[in-house]
Chains A and B, each alone.
Chain A
Amino acid sequence: MNRGSKGSLQAKIVHSLFLLCALVSIVTTVGIVVSLFVESIGFFREVSPWEFLTGTRWSPILKPRSYGVLPLVTGTILVASVALALAVPVGLGIAIYLSEFANDRLRKILKPILEVLAGIPTVVYGYFALTFVTPQLQRLMPDLLVFNALSAGLVMGLMLIPMVSSLSEDAMVAVPRSLRNAAYALGATRLEVCLRVVVPAAISGIVASFILAFSRAIGETMLVTIAAGASPNLTANPLESIQTMTAFIVQLALGEAPHGSLEFQTIFAVGLLLFFMTLIMNILGNIIVRKVREEY
């Protein structure tokens, strides 16, 4: 009897404790969304959402002021695209190699190296891009500016490789042995087993890794602030200097915009847009995953 009541009290305490932990994340998310909305309201009273979303010149501090966010959006997507163009094929290639081709010994060497790559602070990547990659690229392309989207994008791609490769590999390793055996028994080669059975069966995890990498790429701040420049520029040319949404937020937050001023509120408007962009990416990702996935 005693034991029972003690047990149930314990269960209640444990239950509430874990509930509390779960609530922390929910409360944080709600808090962020609310603060973004509240602070943006002030901004959108002054600037219409239409002007904000379709304007092609971004100059919130210097006169003549203009609040067209498109240059920041294209800058962000440009860097992210360069990054994914590198991280997706290389990351997937590494995942396929590790999961289907590498022997145990090689895997034990390669995986820790990738983990180290994932653990490097982004500020280090930023200076690596600025002081090493950019000069090397300039030797090939003399016109390349010191701050440019290409160098930042490529280094960001390097940074994202471990994320793509480790999540994709996890998804591929989880594909049951029995499916591989079925394909081998039909005369499939290792490559055919990999491309026709393992990758299709793991596709939801693989696509999820791409989407996470993209979300991470558009949210990445330090690297692009250091290496991509601070000139909002509506361009699709990665050789030019640009500014991403995150880099703008940093720039403004470091400046002296007084709290409550329109300049200050632009931070939240841009932040809110960034939030919606990742949200839409995640929703799109879920839809894609549901459409193409093979359940086993």
Chain B
Amino acid sequence: MTTARNIGLAIEDLSVYYGNFRVLKNVTLQIPSNKVTALIGPSGSGKSTLLRCFNRMNDLIPSARIEGKVYFGENNIYAAGVDPTEVRSRIGMVFQKPNPFPKSIFENVAFGLRINGYRGDMNEAVERALHVAALWDEVKDRLNDGALTLSGGQQQRLCIARAIAVEPEVILMDEPASALDPIATLAIEGLMRDLSREYTILVVTHNMQQAARVSDETAFLMMDDDRAGYLVEHGETQQIFTNPVDERTEAYITGRFG
């Protein structure tokens, strides 16, 4: 289990098409394990599309097609015979808008465990996930209340608990704080830092300060003239924000465009 925890992600010459339209071209990138990696870039640069390649969520879009390889540890998750549901139970995801199920708080966290045939103590597993998501103290007396009675920030932490409950190795986050107020945002950011001790975290964000605050590494994407996204630069967050190699990165992070 400890070795499995150290699996990183790597993509090799990845291109993504929606129909005939290429949204990402020739991206090659290594994501270190047990760190927070931020994907930044202007709208339309394909950050979210890139993120969704890691758990094969793009498979759900009928016109989507990918070329290239995505490695999770040693395995190409797009190889023939790979079950996408298996991939998704090991690489969790948190979405832009909190999307708890219209079920109780408890059932939300238990959902992934139930569908994955979890045989252990459900109460214990739910409590553990809620602790990790720093939500337990707020909800322990109302686990049977509807999830939609929670505030937006609490709902998002519930979604994180739901993802954590199935014990994935990687958590993908698609602008997880963009629909939240500043205080709830800080709570989510603190959580990301804490989670990176045990999980590999990949976060898409529009917010430069957020990327600088939470991430260890940053990848910067841009949109080309043919409107396909491509990777400009990837490195340690410190270096990207203080001493970028590429002048386009510098222009973006200093706010000259985007």
Contacts and interface: CB of A to CB of B under 8 A. Distances in A.
Given A182-B95, A184-B88, A186-B111, A294 B102 contact: yes
Contacts of A189: 85, 115
Interface string A245-268: 000000000000000000000000
Given A181-B60, A181-B95, A196-B115, A186 B162 contact: yes
A163 to B, nearest CB: 25
Interface in B96-139: 97, 99-103, 111-112, 114-116
A192 interface: yes
B102 A188 contact: no
Interface residues of B, number: 30
A192 B55 contact: no
A182 B92 CA distance: 10
A183 B102 contact: no
Given A179-B99, A201-B102, A294-B103, A185 B62 contact: no
A192 B148 contact: no
Interface string B164-178: 001000000000000
Given A196-B111, A295-B148, A296-B148, A186 B60 contact: no
Given A178-B97, A197-B101, A295-B148, A184 B159 contact: no
A196 B112 CA distance: 11
A112 interface: no
A103 B62 contact: yes
Interface residues of A, number: 21
A178 B99 contact: yes
Contacts of B112: 186-188
A192 B112 CA distance: 11
Given A178-B95, A192-B115, A196-B115, A185 B57 contact: yes
A186 B148 contact: no
Contact of B163 (A185, A196, A296): A185
Contacts of A176: 99
B89 interface: yes
Given A186-B88, A186-B162, A187-B89, A181 B57 contact: yes
B93 to A, nearest CB: 4
A285 interface: no
B86 interface: yes
A93 interface: no
Interface in A159-205: 176, 178-179, 181-189, 192, 196-197, 200-201
B199 to A, nearest CB: 15
Q: By CB atoms of chain B within 10 A, which of A185, A189, A294 has the most? A: A185
Given A103-B62, A188-B85, A295-B102, A183 B111 contact: yes
Contact of A185 (B93, B100, B102): B93
A181 B101 CA distance: 11
Contacts of B90: 187
Interface string B34-69: 000000000000000000000101001010000000
Contacts of A179: 99, 101-102
A200 B166 CA distance: 22
A172 B90 CA distance: 28
Contacts of B62: 103
Q: Which 6 A-B pairs have the closest CB atoms?
A: A187-B89, A294-B102, A186-B112, A185-B93, A178-B99, A296-B102
10 contacts: A179-B102, A182-B162, A183-B111, A187-B89, A188-B85, A188-B112, A188-B115, A196-B111, A295-B102, A295-B146
Interface of B: 55, 57, 60, 62, 85-90, 92-93, 95, 97, 99-103, 111-112, 114-116, 146, 148, 159, 162-163, 166
